[in-house]
Amino acid sequence: MAEDFKIIAQNKKAYHDYFVLETYEAGMELYGTEIKSIRNGRVNLKDSWCSVDNGEMFALGVHISPYEQGNIFNREPLRRKRLLLHKKEIMRLFGQSQQQGLSIIPLRLYIKNGRAKLEIGLCKGKKNYDKRAVAAKKDADRAIERSLKNY
């Protein structure tokens, strides 16, 4: 059975600011006009994060623009969206984020088999020297590729 997989939005800033240690796939609790807006690609994950309240995980800062034809049925663009994960996964993520000082960050939003899914990552923050090292390695790899291409 082939899976229909369409990436809607990616959080490139997360890969710049964090080391991604683990990833999880979570469903999202959405309303009618929100999924229509997502299908149109009007989503921004740039400054988003996840938190756990009363045993439930929520995505905060995920901006889903209002649907143009949605009128009174549109929801608040920055409302907190409940993530659909198993209780064991939520407790494991919450425990690791509390004990080890890690963050839970949305990495990308995609549609899989007609349903919106959010890929979240357990992330550790990068220091400035880490960011410089990654940039230097990327530049060196580009230079090597360029020199190999000429031969």
Nearest to 48 by CA among 109, 135, 124, 139: 109
Instruction: Give CA–CA dist 81/57, Å, rounded.
Output: 9
Give the CATH class of 5-126.
mainly beta
Residues 73-89 pLDDT 10s: 777 878 888 999 999 99
Domain borders along the chain are 5-126
The span from the CA of 117 to the CA of 28, in Å, is: 6
Q: Write out pLDDT tens, residues 105-128.
A: 999 999 998 899 999 999 998 888
Burial bucket for residue 10 (CB in 10 Å: 0-12, 13-18, 19+): middle
